[in-house]
Structure 1
């Protein structure tokens, strides 16, 4: 099995993509690109059995309806909620709420934060994948699945805060140490130095690991009641088993 992980940003410079090849006994980081352009991202998503993208795959349904109604001058003034409570119903997707309940981490709002710029790029990538014949299912049922590396790290008991940015290089190295200690079967090879020097590289690797969890049924899926929202808004796959279980005998491929 080949999984890909994409740490997506609005611009190429802060975008990273990782390819991990899996066997019955371990995994090898085959390729890692920091500063990845659209063509490299599409190549990864097209070649992989499962590709994890660290970016919202859609916008909150209530927010979309709000924008459409406002655009057409048909917005009805809210009567049941006002102020912050009302805005929160527009700002976060169902998967953001569920992820917060499960991990205590609240995702950035794709409707009200700068991550919207990244999501615009993601939407264009998904459209190109679909045009190329790739099955695109925002709920995670196709090749692509939405991931949240910091939440995955927390689920796996690894450091998940304070490792971003050059000023936190020590914390980033501690994270890589923890990852390689818990998962000695993961061979970073020549790319270990890149992981120690770039949080984007590490997030891409974690995204590829989470894609593996999703591919073998060791990650959350939307409940039946959430499926309709997940299909349009996207759904974050959270690991449900220890990191060590990604290479167990029951994990075929």
Structure 2
């Protein structure tokens, strides 16, 4: 099995992709690249079994409805336009689930800068679908939405304070901690890059979560949640320890 992890930025710069091959008893990192284009992601997806995309796959349904209504006329403001109403506009159902399960608040695709990456993601999903890939925002197809910080939290690893020029030491410590928790993960020639770039590191984590999703070891929306997840997207949270990713490994 091959899994891809993509840390998607608004542009090619700062976009990273990792490819992991899963073999009996070990997982080998076959590729880690930076400054990745949409075309390269689409090409790589053809040989991958599951792709973890670190980017929101959609927008909150209430936000989409608000923009549509506002474009046509005037909106109906619930709760007097207070914080609860604004929160429903800003956060997707899956964001609230992640917040409840991990106490981590994902960035709002409707109100934070991550929306720029989501614009790109919408186009990328269209390209993948046109290429014949099974794009299901619930995660049931080849693509699954991932959130590295939440995954690291689930695996008992540090998930804050490792990004930025002044956090190189914390970043290096986190890579060391991941390697200790998953001694079967072979970074090989890409270890230096993963230690140097948190984008590269996040792409590796995204590929690990893709494996969890592919083997039924990540959360999936229930029937009620699936209604919104079809358009909003669904963040797959690992439900097993890291060691569980090796089970059912296929050559």
Give the alignment's TM-score, normalised by structure 2: 0.97
Structure 1, 39-48 or 210-219: larger mean CA deviation: 39-48
- Structure-1 separation of matches of 2:78 and 2:226: 28
Question: Partner of 2:141: helix, strand, or coil?
Answer: coil
Which residue of structure 2 lines up, in the alignment, with residue 22 of structure 1? 22
Gap regions ≥5 residues in structure 1: none
- Structure-1 separation of matches of 2:176 and 2:83: 41
1:130 aligns with 2:129: yes
- CA RMSD across the alignment: 1.1
Which residue of structure 2 lines up, in the alignment, with residue 75 of structure 1? 75
The 8 Å contact of residues 163 and 198 in structure 2, kept in 1 or not, is answered as: yes
CA deviations 1:149-175 (Å, max 9, x no partner) are 010001001111100011100001001
Which residue of structure 1 lines up, in the alignment, with residue 112 of structure 2? 113
- Structure-2 separation of matches of 1:134 and 1:126: 9
- Structure-2 separation of matches of 1:43 and 1:23: 22
- Structure-1 separation of matches of 2:245 and 2:170: 25
Gap regions ≥5 residues in structure 2: none
After the TM superposition, which parts of structure 1 deviate over 3 Å for at least 4 consecutive aligned residues? Answer: 250-253
- Structure-2 separation of matches of 1:47 and 1:118: 24
The 8 Å contact of residues 7 and 204 in structure 1, kept in 2 or not, is answered as: yes
The 8 Å contact of residues 23 and 249 in structure 2, kept in 1 or not, is answered as: no
Which residue of structure 2 lines up, in the alignment, with residue 96 of structure 1? 95
- Structure-1 separation of matches of 2:140 and 2:244: 21
Which residue of structure 1 lines up, in the alignment, with residue 66 of structure 2? 66
**1:173-212 equivalence runs, <5 A:** 173-212=172-211
Post-superposition offset of 1:45: 2.3
- Structure-2 separation of matches of 1:13 and 1:231: 29
Give the alignment's TM-score, normalised by structure 1: 0.97
- Structure-2 separation of matches of 1:69 and 1:79: 14
Structure 1, 141-150 or 84-93: larger mean CA deviation: 84-93
Distance change (3 Å), C-alpha of 1:79 and 1:65: closer
Structure 1, 80-89 or 48-57: larger mean CA deviation: 80-89
Which residue of structure 1 lines up, in the alignment, with residue 138 of structure 2? 139
- Structure-2 separation of matches of 1:159 and 1:23: 27
Which residue of structure 2 lines up, in the alignment, with residue 236 of structure 1? 235
Distance change (3 Å), C-alpha of 1:184 and 1:91: same
- Structure-1 separation of matches of 2:85 and 2:225: 21
Q: How many residues align?
A: 251
The 8 Å contact of residues 56 and 233 in structure 2, kept in 1 or not, is answered as: yes
The 8 Å contact of residues 245 and 251 in structure 1, kept in 2 or not, is answered as: no
Which residue of structure 2 lines up, in the alignment, with residue 3 of structure 1? 3
- Structure-1 separation of matches of 2:236 and 2:54: 10
